[in-house]
Structure 1
Amino acid sequence: MSKLRARLLGVLVLLTGFLTAAGPRPAAADGLPDSLWFDEPAATLTVANGRFIDGLGREVVLRGYNVSGETKLEENSGLPFASVSDARKSATALRALGGGNSVRFLLSWAHAEPARGQVDSAYLGAATDQMRAFLDAGVRVFPDFHQDLYSRHLFNTGSWYSGDGAPKWAVTEGGYPQESCGICLFWGQNITQNGAVKAAQYDFWHNAHGLQDAFLVTAQATMTYVRQHLTAAEFAGVAGFDPFNEPYAGTYDSGQTSRTWERDLLWPFYGKFRARMDAAGWQDKPAFVEPNLFWNANISSQKQEGGLLDAGTLGPRYVFNTHFYDQKAISGILMWGKAGDGQYATDFGTVRDRASAAGTAAVVSEFGHPLSGTVSDKAPTVDKAMYQALDSRLPGSRWWTGTAASGPVLSGTQWQWDIYSGRHHELMNDNPDKVLTAGDAWNDEDLSAVRLDGSDTAVLRQDARLLDRVYPSATAGSTLAFTYEDRSRDGTTTLTWNPVPSTLPQVSQLVGSGQYGLSVWRSNGDGAPTELHLPASFPASATTVVSDLGATVDPPAYTAATPIAAAPEPGGTGSRRLLLTAPGPGTLHFALVTNGASAPSSALLNGARAELAAWAAARFG
């Protein structure tokens, strides 16, 4: 295809983002014919200049969830869903209720290779079909070979805990000791205290019994199968691959440190995995590589040096992929009270800085907080503070004055999105006398943001104002600053951490007590629009936009000549997006979107626009 023809096709479909070619297409509410509903360039992601970039040259932010912890369980044979129908139900809800545009899609090594050297094509087929359900809903996917505590087969039927990951044959060949964590209050303590878990992890990283080689062969077969059984258009929506969840040494060799373990064992493993990706036809997709899981722990006794410090410049073939949980808050002892404004600005700033130093994009592929138990009362504030830190490296109290230091918007996928929350039927470690139904049905966790109600309809378990957020899903240029005030609730208390300052009185009046998002970017002049996700709490009649491009209430449908417009998100789920088309490369732009205004006057819109223009010019020139 010529560059000119590719650009013309890109312009024709730029408001559709991406959607797979498979399956029936919804009616083209935006006026585009079905043949132009999907565009591979808009779907395809690469990494450049420390950002995710789509085929239209736009900076992309991935936001979504992990799908799902059900993969850790045996009740559905290591698959996220019992059926493709359930996968489609989940994908639609994730888009329409949760506001997500991407998922980390969990896979099981134990089920992909149940017998050594024998890949189960039926499992791969079922997993690919479920993956396709999300691609059909316009959701990007990055698969993850998931493990926790190495393998469930390390644990006996009477164990207090369980694991997931490696197949039974891998455990049998290791001949590991009887597992025991001693006095462990949290399942994660098994990582560093359970002798069987530690020995198994050590063996994997040292390729004892050829375990790592076997895993890599299965990984290549899995990636080959997925590529061959998705259409080219569907495969374009696959963002990359996460090789290994939460890696840890198990035990360090004599004289070895966490940093040298990363250098000498973890990073070479990622190089081997990268080669397997290339051989499987994934050469244009990045590996989402995780450092030692304790590198950014927020408890000093856990924290270990790492972050792939000796890997050099990762570049476009790798993404810096990390997790973050507030262990102090989860402990119930080390953090009294609730999280507050800017609680995790430093922690997430460290992620930004590490990715920048490594020359690549970053994703926080797990974050969240328990939704039941003794510390669940902290969840509304902890999760709000984490989303705030993804949006900006500044607390709300400093955002309006220190905006130039806001930093890049981080991609992130919350743990987790499991529609079976609270209705599992899992025989813990195959014990028929220990049938788990509550929460996530795994080691007493309960973090799913969604569940099915009595009529099998997906409903949120957390405040929709927190989860379904405004965020810059695609920016035609470089995002300079972004913030979103979600006004989410902690019980009956509205959490407002970033009020519009009194120095902008007309902006403050326009926003009122409503939600608002504000993005500042410098355009690249390529002609594709900047896109912001519009939550369900922003119905058309209540959506007000004030920008250097104009000011409007209820943005009209997109046309090439409309600088401010709204359109459906791809996938036919009913969710919407704002499209801002800005001419000229290198030009500074801003856009405030709010649902707080009620029939604002032209004078108020124009006054707010003038205030924002002066504010942006003063901070970015």
Structure 2
Amino acid sequence: MSKMRMRLIGVLILLTASLTIEGAPSAAAPSAAVPLPGSLWFDEQAAAAFTVDHGRFTDGLGREVVLRGYNVSGETKLEENGGLPFASVADAEKSATALRALGGGNSARFLLSWAHAEPVRGQVDRAYLTAATAQMRAFLKAGIRVYPDFHQDLYSRHLFNEGSWYTGDGAPKWVVEAGGYPRESCGICLFWGQNITQNEAVKRAAYDFWHNRGGVQDAFLATAQATMTYFAEHLDGAEFAAVAGFDPYNEPHAGSYDSGQSSRMWERDVLWPFYTRFRARMDAAGWQNKPAFVEPNLFWNSNLFFQKQEGGLLDAGTLGSRYVFNTHFYDQKAISGVFMWGKAADGQYAGDFGAVRDRAAASATAAVVSEFGHPLTGTVSDKAPTVGKAMYQALDSRLPGASWWLKPEQSGPVLSGSQWQWDIYHGRHHELMNGNPDKVLTAADAWNEEDLSAVRLDDSGTAVLRQDARLLDRLYPSATAGRALAFSYEDRSRDGSTTLTWNPVPKSLPRVAELVGSGQYGVLLWRSDGTAAPTELHLPASFETPRTTVVSDLGAVTGPPSYTRSTPIAVAPEPGGTGSRRLLLTAGDSGSLHYALVTNGATAPSAELLRAAREELAEWSEGRG
């Protein structure tokens, strides 16, 4: 065979493998240094480790981590499965696989029940902990980080009677029986959350917990320590490394304030001492290197003026690596149906989520929005598509889409978040509300008429999404080798038949706009720090590898090749064997500014278009970091 013919064959192979331009990656020849398919050269167990370092989440390789996922699940608030998220480990495995493959999540806030962990005072139910550990392990094996949460709402279901309109979850029956609380009544309450401030039984019980009446807080802390000790002893090293931390208490509120006490004073004098006690229990249980995901006063960031209370752990000082600023956000105006007319719009929550970034920065720690969402049925459900898009947009950047391209360096950090919720039993429950056999709840979430689950099982038992996959399965920087300076994702999610585009490519970048077309796209700006492992972005299922185009200072390619250590732009499976994929961008330097645009908008774009788009992005990114 002639040398010329060999060269031609070689060129044809390269062209059919992937369309590249100068500086783009090409397939490496197999060698002893190349890992087996599906594996990476770096230590995946080290990559799974998690901590807080200099105000950001990091993995064991020093990369900046973003947690995105769901709450698993509101089923824990029900009695039908004994306060567990699932009826079986098999269901947990099904849910975990779907969360990863359909929902695009890499993390889960894993709900636990104090009532079932300590049904008798001073006696921890090891059978419950065994079952919870096995179900948690299903998520860890799927490559999903978890952070457990001893969940409570309205303090305890045992405060409510069989005929009540509402129910709660959290504290065991023996706690309520010892409290001697009045018969619960919310009066005129249109929403279950009004019980927090209007139901005298709920208010008194919460007050007693925070003031440790009868040693009830001591009992909770002892159970929490026993639970954490059990997890540390019964998860193996790799599994425990992927446990991100612990959320001590869901949505804390005083119940009632002492005379002359403000909400800020309550946080300082009551809530924060509780967190320091919980932190000590974590240390004693072997969780010294994991942060406590601490929540401020429930109402500190409410967007209803009459509900908002001063707080946000303003007097806690520097939290550092031992605590995470952990908050929730629901658009109460939109949920009310009264205080917000119409739909959410571009930049709707930039200020609200910007406040979360600011509080975390002032506390010298990282932040997570561990609950957010909107009802999917009912009178205000028509707002759900736009509210959901606006919330994810605000997690990605503190800028509206209309101004992102003009000043991306003002984006702020990419926020971690866990949507409420991921319940595969949606619409298939069998819950006796407050133990009442005449009130069997089967519909929606089976809890106080809520309907927020992003997933359900169809008639064949297959997990399917209840929201637009374009909204939920998102491109995001899951691990950045350095610092993520700016990120934005145009998901093109839909509101009915309308495709929502809030971040169009500006006219000043015509070839980039041509490349993107009507497709989805994301842009990441980051500064490398010499970390050898690559920057990773979750690739949604809608970004099929042959249709995925990456334009970066590292090169430009359509149909990125499989990962090798020498390939700067590549794809690889995400850990856990769920079929989800990640894009890997390897810079291998320190201190340089990098950019990458990732889109599924073009089919086989020309080399000239890729080159022109790259030139536009290079000029646009210059001086941004």
Q: TM-score, normalised by structure 1?
A: 0.94
Aligned partner of 1:568: which letter? P
TM-fit CA distance, 1:527: 1.1
Match for 1:354 among 359, 362, 373? Answer: 359
1:206 matched residue in structure 2:
211
1:593 aligned to 593, 598, 605, which one? Answer: 598
Return closer, same or farther for 1:33/1:433 CA change in 2, 3 Å cut-off: closer
Question: Shift in Å at residue 292 of structure 1?
Answer: 0.2
Contact 1:81 1:130 in 2 (8 A): yes
Q: What is the DSSP-based 3-state SS (H/G/I as helix, E as strand, rest coil) of the residue aligned with 2:434?
A: helix
Q: Which amino acid aligns with 1:308?
A: L
Q: Deviations over 1:297-353 (max 9, x none)?
A: 000100000000000000000000000000000000100000000000000000000
Candidates 123, 128, 136, aligned match of 1:131: 136
Give the match for residue 123 of structure 2: 118
SS of 1:474 mapped into structure 2: strand
Counterpart code for 2:85: P
Select 1:448's aligned residue among 419, 439, 453. 453
Summarize the alignment of residues 474-553 of structure 1 with structure 2, pairs less than 5 Å apart: 474-553=479-558
Partner SS state of residue 244, structure 2: coil
Read off the aligned partner of 2:134 and give its amino acid letter: D
Whether the aligned pair in 2 keeps the contact of 1:514 and 1:595 (CA below 8 Å) is yes
> 1:410 maps to which residue?
415
Partners in 1 of 2:265 and 2:149 — Cα distance?
25
Conserved? CA contact 1:39–1:233, under 8 Å: no
Matches within 5 A, 1:245-264: 245-264=250-269
Supply the AA of the counterpart residue of 2:417.
G
Amino acid at match of 1:521: W
1:457 pairs with one of 459, 462, 468: 462
Task: Give the AA of the match of 1:442.
Answer: W
**Taking CA–CA contacts closer than 8 Å with sequence separation of 6 or more, which of the two structures ends up with the larger relative contact order?**
2
Amino acid at match of 1:58: R
Give me the whole-angstrom Cα distance separating, in 1, the residues matched to 2:493 and 2:505.
16
CA offsets 1:541-594 (integer angstroms, 9 cap, x no match): 110000000000010011111000000011111110000000211100001000
Alignment of 1:7-406 (within 5 A): 31=36, 39-406=44-411
| 2:41/2:565 contact within 8 Å kept | no
Q: What secondary structure sits across from 1:432 in the alignment? A: coil
Instruction: Supply the distance in 2 between the matched residues of 1:210 and 1:153 (Cα, whole angstroms).
Output: 19
CA distance in 2, matches of 1:30, 1:161: 56
Find 1:562's aligned residue among 545, 564, 567.
567
Does the aligned pair in 2 maintain the 1:568–1:576 contact within 8 Å?
yes
What is the CA-CA distance between 1:40 and the residue it aligns to?
Answer: 2.6
**Conserved? CA contact 2:293–2:323, under 8 Å:** yes
Deviations 1:145-204 (A, max 9, x none): 000000000000000000000000000010000000000000000000000000000000
- Report the residue type matching 1:105 in the other structure: F
| Change beyond 3 A, Cα 1:563–1:33 | closer
Aligned mate of 2:471, from 457, 466, 469: 466
* Structure 2 CA distance for partners of 1:160 and 1:139, relative to 1, 3 Å: same
d(CA) in 2 for partners of 1:75, 1:435: 11
Distance apart, 1:36 and its partner CA: 8.0
Count of matched residue positions in the alignment of Structure 1 and Structure 2:
592
In structure 2, relative to structure 1, the CA distance for the partners of 1:618 and 1:388 (3 Å cut) is same
Deviations 1:518-540 (A, max 9, x none): 00000011211000000000001
Q: Please give the alpha-carbon distance, in whole angstroms, between the structure 1 residues aligned to 2:470 and 2:41.
A: 33
Deviations 1:427-459 (A, max 9, x none): 000000000001100000000000000000000
SS at match of 1:169: helix
Q: Do the aligned partners of 1:106 and 1:145 also contact (CA within 8 Å) in 2?
A: yes
Taking the aligned partners of 1:416 and 1:462, their CA distance within structure 2 comes to 12
Deviations 1:451-508 (A, max 9, x none): 0000000000000000000000000000000000000000000000000001000000
Q: Percent identical across equivalent pairs?
A: 78
**1:523–1:584 contact (8 Å) kept in structure 2:** yes
CA distance in 2, matches of 1:155, 1:586: 58
Give runs of ≥4 in structure 1 deviating > 4 Å.
32-38
1:31 Cα deviation from its structure 2 partner: 1.8
| Residues 416 and 448 in structure 1, CA contact (< 8 A), matched pair in contact too | yes
* Greater Rg by CA: 2
Gaps of 5+ in 2: 1-33
Output the CA distance in 1 between the equivalents of 2:60 and 2:413: 20
SS at match of 1:129: helix
Once structures 1 and 2 are overlaid, which stretch shifts more, 180-189 or 43-52? 43-52
User: Match of 1:506, SS?
Assistant: helix
Structure 1 distance, partners of 2:410, 2:36, is: 40
Q: Which runs of 5+ in 1 are unaligned?
A: 1-28
SS of aligned partner of 1:323: strand
CA-CA distance at 1:35 after TM superposition: 11
* Secondary structure at the counterpart of residue 302 of structure 2: coil
SS for the counterpart of 2:120 is coil
1:423: which partner in 2?
A: 428
Map of 1:437 onto structure 2: 442
SS at match of 1:303: coil
d(CA) in 1 for partners of 2:446 and 2:523? 39
In structure 2, do the counterparts of structure 1 residues 492 and 34 end up closer, same or farther at CA, with 3 Å as the change threshold?
Answer: closer
Q: How much does 1:598 deviate?
A: 1.1
- Secondary structure at the residue paired with 1:473? strand
Q: Per-residue deviation at 1:46? A: 1.0
**Per the alignment, in what secondary structure is the counterpart of residue 149 of structure 1?**
coil
Give a deviation string over 1:573-621, Cα, whole Å, max 9, x none.
Answer: 111000000021110000100000111000100110110010000433x
- How far, CA to CA, are the matches of 2:569 and 2:539 in structure 1? 13
